[in-house]
Amino acid sequence: MLRQAVILVGGLGTRLGERTRAVPKPMLEVGGQPFLDTLIDEVARYDLFDEILLLAGHKAELVETRYSGASRGRARIIVSRETEPLGTAGALVHASPLLHDRFLLLNGDSLFDFNLLDLIAHARADGVHMALRAGVEGDRYGRVVLEGDVVRAFVAPGAGATGPVNAGVYVVNKSVVAGITTLPASLEQDVFPSLVAQDALHGTAYRGYFIDIGIPEDLARADRELREKLRRPAVFFDRDGVLNHDSGYAYEADKLEWIDGAREAVKAVNDAGYFAFVITNQSGIARGYYEEQHVVALHRWMADQMALIGAHIDAFEYCPDHPDGTIARYCRTSDRRKPAPGMITDLVTRFPVDMSRSMVIGDKASDMEAAQAAGVAGHLFEGGNLEAYVRERLGSTGKA
């Protein structure tokens, strides 16, 4: 399982003039916070990565001060500092001792809002697999020529080509880095052409919001629109009886049985650009049947199983409380326990959720009551294939 994300943050940003003289381009404020904060948050919400490695160059001390030793979710942040400019490929060579055998690589000055786990799940085991942005208009960007998923050529900007563009997101095999022998070196100019010649560069085209802050006009546009573009509707899934069969106080991975199409349903939500959340009552904790650590471990296992097909849950929320509990600290009434809406409202305070297009999918009246109390649509799942059920409801919102 791929567990490392690497972000290139070392460029000089010369096209932005004075704004990047004292600040690394990815740390420019965009939408109310450093652009790099947004990139890190977007990576961390997948809850897959144990480590986010920042490759710093220009004004690296600012990157180190803000991020070195910090964490986002389960991911710790490490900074690799170049002593001299080595290019995008050279930054990887310099950080080679820190790189995993396979890693996700992102440009620090662009954001592409698509399902990262789909790219990871379908990436070839060797070489580099690129995420490409389909449907980009204009001549600012070069174009990529594909044959199936094999990259055959690159077309320079301004040449009139209309194919997808390189979105600056890659799954990389470390062996590619080992093959870089001349420095400084650029991934795009030096490494990728040689991979094309070896049929070792692949690509998959996606749609989704894409912004590159490399020129003043796009930096200003990102500052105006980024926060709203990352505001998404959400699907709040109940767990037992919706994602997995309700066998009564489930807490062991080897006894969990997925509902047909459950993981695929979550992926459909991810691919549609929605947040995917789990909201589950877990009164078995209050009753002493198992502990919170067991629920957390089960959710980690579920997340790993979803990741195998390119699906993810943005946050697992559970309520351990019950007024009839036998464990004193959990024996209480909680506004997080459904039918109360607390788990939903707590998520909305942490994530930029568009509630007008959100929904709860549950199998009990309490789920529907929680949805109503939170002001979102409730859909009662009564069995069958969850993917088909979810796709029908996503289609009704125009997002499928």
Given a contact cutoff of 8 angstroms between Cβ atoms, the answer to whether 164 and 134 are in contact is yes
Assigned fold of 4-229: Spore Coat Polysaccharide Biosynthesis Protein SpsA; Chain A (3.90.550)
Q: Which helix (H) or strand (E) holds 179?
A: none
pLDDT on residue 267: 98
Domain boundaries, the chain: 4-229, 234-396
| Tokens representing residue 134 in the block | 């389909």
- What pLDDT sits at residue 396? 57
Cβ contact 108:115 at 8 Å: no
CA distance 318 to 297: 13
Is the bond into 339 cis (omega within 30 degrees of 0)? yes
Task: For domain 234-396, say whether CATH 3.40.50.1000 is its number.
Answer: yes
Q: Which of these is catalytic: 37, 109, 238, 271? A: 238
What residue type is assigned to position 45 of the chain? R
Average pLDDT over residues 339-365: 97
CA distance 90 to 182: 8
pLDDT value at position 398?
41
Are the C-beta atoms of residues 207 and 114 closer than 8 Å to each other? yes
CA 41 → CA 44, 167, 323, distances in Å? 5, 18, 36
User: Among this protein's residues, is 37 annotated catalytic?
Assistant: no
What pLDDT band is residue 139 in, cutting at 50, 70 and 90?
confident
CA-nearest of 352, 139, 107 to 226 is 352
Contact 9, 82 (CB under 8 A): no
Q: How far apart are CA 52 and CA 4, in angstroms?
A: 6
Q: What is the Cα–Cα distance from 122 to 191, expressed in whole angstroms?
A: 22
Marked catalytic residue, from 47, 240, 314, 321: 240
Q: What is the pLDDT of residue 52?
A: 98
State the Cα–Cα distance between residues 50 and 44, nearest whole angstrom.
9
Encode pLDDT of 223-250 as tens digits.
999 999 999 999 999 999 999 999 889 8
Euclidean distance between CA atoms 395 and 400, whole angstroms: 5
pLDDT digits (tens, 9 = 90+) for 247-291: 889 899 999 999 999 999 999 999 999 999 999 999 999 999 999
Residue 196's pLDDT band, with cuts at 50, 70 and 90, is very high
Nearest Cα residue to 315 out of 34, 41, 70, 40: 41
CA distance 158 to 156: 6
Return the structure tokens found at 7: 């972000």
Strand partners, 169: 106, 131
Nearest alpha carbon to residue 151 among 200, 205, 118, 116: 200
| Of 95-99, 122-126, 128-132, 333-337, the least confident | 122-126
Does residue 358 register a pLDDT over 80? yes
Residue 358 DSSP SS3: coil
Predicted confidence band of residue 222 (pLDDT cuts 50, 70, 90):
very high
User: pLDDT (tens digit, 9 = 90+) per residue, 3-29?
Assistant: 999 999 988 778 888 888 889 999 999
User: What angle (nearest 5°) sits at the alpha carbon of residue 78, between those of residues 73 and 80?
Assistant: 155
Look-up: residue for tokens 């996503």?
Answer: 394
Where residue 100 falls (left for φ over 0; alpha for ψ -120 to 50; beta otherwise) is beta
Give the integer Cα–Cα distance in Å for 400 and 386: 15
Task: Read off the amino acid at residue 80.
Answer: S
Q: What is the mean pLDDT of residues 67-73?
A: 94
Given a cut of 80, whether residue 294 has pLDDT beyond it is yes
Residue 400 predicted with pLDDT over 70:
no
pLDDT band of residue 137 (cuts 50, 70, 90) is confident
Instruction: Check pLDDT > 60 for residue 399.
Output: no
240 catalytic per annotation: yes
Angle between helices 60-67 and 35-44 (to 10 degrees): 50
Q: How far is CA 216 from the centre of its chain?
A: 27
Residue 235 and residue 359 in contact, taking contact as beta carbons nearer than 8 Å: yes
Strand order of the sheet with strand 275-281?
315-319, 275-281, 234-237, 359-362, 377-380
Residue with tokens 């929605």: 274
